[in-house]
Amino acid sequence: MKKILLAYDGGEPAQKALLQTIELAKLFDAEVGVISVVPVHPGRTPIDPWDDRTVHAEELLEARKQLHEAGIEATLIEPGGDPAKTIERIAEERDFDTIVLGSRGLGTVARALQGSVSEHVAANARATVVVAR
């Protein structure tokens, strides 16, 4: 475990993933990148006005601060796109060998309607995936 990509959105599951990332990074002396994907959807308003780049930038800065306080310097990554596919693509392009993300605990109906980023990443990423609960 040399490079860890933390998927972070500021929520409670992401906080758990952040704590797991700190533990793993210290244990393995790993490099850390933090990604917050601005969801882009096809259509008239491709970016949700309540989920814009400003929100994601603030989330990344929050994660960087917590990591810094734990003695870890992190690279921040803020792409736009489909969250699951973008996390997978960035991990592969930048040679992250581990992805850490939280599980929102969606029920069956919500998962069917929205899809689960953690499930998609766990099933499709080439890196090792840790889902913090």
**Would you list the DSSP string of the chain?**
--EEEEE--SSHHHHHHHHHHHHHHHHHT-EEEEE--EEB-SSSS-B-TTS-HHHHHHHHHHHHHHHHHTT--EEEE--EE-HHHHHHHHHHHTT-SEEEEE-----HHHHHHH--HHHHHHHH-SSEEEEE-
Same domain? For 104 and 86 the reply is yes
Two structure tokens written together for 64: 């960087």
pLDDT of residue 111: 38
Same domain? For 59 and 72 the reply is yes
pLDDT of residue 22: 98
Counting as low any pLDDT under 50, the low residues of the chain are 106-114
Same domain? For 41 and 75 the reply is yes
pLDDT of residue 40: 76
Same domain? For 65 and 91 the reply is no
pLDDT of residue 87: 96
pLDDT of residue 80: 85
Q: Is residue 68 part of a domain?
A: yes
Same domain? For 56 and 86 the reply is no
Same domain? For 69 and 95 the reply is no
Q: Which residues constitute the domain of residue 97?
A: 82-127
Q: Indicate the pTM of the whole model.
A: 0.86
pLDDT of residue 54: 83
pLDDT of residue 125: 95
Q: Is residue 8 part of a domain?
A: no
* Number of compact structural domains in the chain: 2
Same domain? For 63 and 99 the reply is no
